[in-house]
Structure 1
């Protein structure tokens, strides 16, 4: 079987419905409406998303990070005209901190099953993770919700304070700087931060553990020149080779309960196929 057939088989055996339908919509001519129908089931009455859309957050209640997951799915479907977007931005307005950003995670997480790294204080501040990625995606699709102006100001302010950074924060910053409309300001901040961002990247494609590779920062040809083509080619070769015998791609972060391994692998399998296609390594 070829790469797509193996991936389809993996998803049929192990993937969540939403990831099986994502595959069908993106690679087999399936209807995007079915993906949207399932995504709505993860959205709560307050407009936020929960219900393990982000597999490491098992609770039903809304949290900011699942909004980012939902927005990436809407982005790949070019579906930011969905009413889900406005409802989610209304939710973000409700939970934003006084600084204009949304927190990494909200205190109700303490009462739900979740991975051990989802911890927070009683009054958490705004965080670039996930505010910067959410804001960037809204800018990409011409978002006009009032939440976006305050969130954008927060991102500029917080980015200006960065000296050293962490992989997840760096990835969020790259997303924001690649998509925000003020290109001169974005390119100036990118030039200032480029070396700090690169310091968080695992350039060895065979690095083990919770490594963050170039294609995690540039899952499609980037707007900002973070990596040379030879680095991207090396990692595209490694990404294609990393498809498992059963057809999926696995997470490289700790698996704290067995179910999440297949949930994350299904999500990542569609994501990895999209990356390979974006760089011309996969037809279909």
Structure 2
């Protein structure tokens, strides 16, 4: 079994401490050096607007400062990773933003017109052509945050959201886009039974059809196995085990010379912003994400002392 060597690990750490966003540095410190969740949240608050939503490049492919449901969902991923309680003002404001957007639109739109106002990835360009119904990405994930923080719920909202979530997955006929699968996986982590088992069973049937299993394709934009099952506790690991093991070997072999892991996608426009800003921000996040996955699977050299949280 391949393991990240001590030298490789510290090259990654040096890259993070030198190049990553302050937010991702604090997230690394939280998991590997017993850092403070408050330090992570202090950085995360910099991305929150007065309406409670988040922008300002929290999702590096979207550079606008304007709040968006997807940007706010990315921010909530960080908040949940460090177990932020409801009492934190960030959580209350973000959840109020989600509720206000849903009440206005009947869903959480994925792409907003304001995204065109600043440099952005090609796939985030607003064309005015959006679906009229529920959008599973990020809708399923956001529904999960109401389970993580049920005190925020207004009467009747959860039932409406569950109608959307379960009807959508039942109508997919076993075919979903991989970001939708990720969104449902985040919901499955927090939804109580029997919903958890129902979603997990569905996702275990869908995932093998969505995941890219050929290592020769992993350097392009695709659904890598490790993205679907980033730890042994992931609900999809049992059906993706062999592919995840290969993916772990692949990531160890494909660490860049500077210690980072590069995004396996790139912009076709705004190239200067991509090269000088967005790409580097993704490198920082992906390096933290990859180290977390490698550690979860016992794939970091045993000589490396890590004060990692359980």
| TM-score, structure 2 normalization | 0.81
Contact 2:200–2:235, Cα closer than 8 Å, also in 1:
no
Query: How far does residue 43 in structure 1 lie from its aligned partner after superposition?
Result: 0.3
Deviations 1:56-107 (A, max 9, x none): 1101110111112111111221114332122111111121267743111223
CA deviation map 1:145-180 (0-9, x unaligned): 226614333212222221221111122223323432
- Counterpart in 1 of 2:26? 21
Is the Cα–Cα contact under 8 Å of residues 15 and 258 in structure 2 kept in the other structure? yes
- CA drift of 1:186 comes to 4.1
| Residues 108 and 209 (structure 1), Cα distance of their counterparts in 2 relative to 1, 3 Å cut | same
Aligned to 1:143: 150
Q: Equivalent residues in 2 for 1:1-80 (5 A)? A: 2-80=7-85
The count of aligned residue pairs is 282
Query: Per the alignment, do residues 127 and 80 of structure 1 end up closer, same or farther by CA in structure 2, a change over 3 Å counting?
Result: farther
Alignment CA distance shift 1:152-1:85 (3 Å): farther
**Contact 1:178–1:224 (8 Å) recurs in 2:** no
Residue ranges of structure 1 left out of the alignment (5+ in a row): none
Judge conservation of contact 1:100–1:151 (CA < 8 Å) in 2: no
Gaps of 5+ in 2: 1-5, 269-273
SS at match of 2:125: coil
From 229, 252, 268, give the equivalent of 2:241. Answer: 229
Correspondence for 2:261? 249
Pair 1:144–1:123, CA change in 2 (3 A): farther
- Name 2:3's counterpart in structure 1: none
Is the 2:237–2:244 contact (alpha carbons within 8 Å) kept by the matching residues of 1?
no
Rounded to whole Å, the distance in 1 between the matches of 2:64 and 2:89 is 23
More deviation, 221-230/27-36: 221-230
> Normalized against structure 1, the TM-score is what?
0.88
Alpha-carbon distance change, 215 to 45 in structure 1, aligned in 2, over 3 angstroms = same
Q: Which has the larger radius of gyration?
A: 2
RMSD between aligned alpha carbons?
A: 2.4
Contact 1:97 1:124 in 2 (8 A): no
For residues 271 and 169 of structure 1, the distance between their equivalents in structure 2, rounded to whole angstroms, comes to 19
Task: Tell me whether 208-217 or 109-118 shows the greater mean CA deviation.
Answer: 109-118
Name the structure 2 match of 1:214.
225
Matches within 5 A, 1:129-168: 129-139=137-147, 141-146=148-153, 149=158, 150-163=160-173, 164-168=175-179
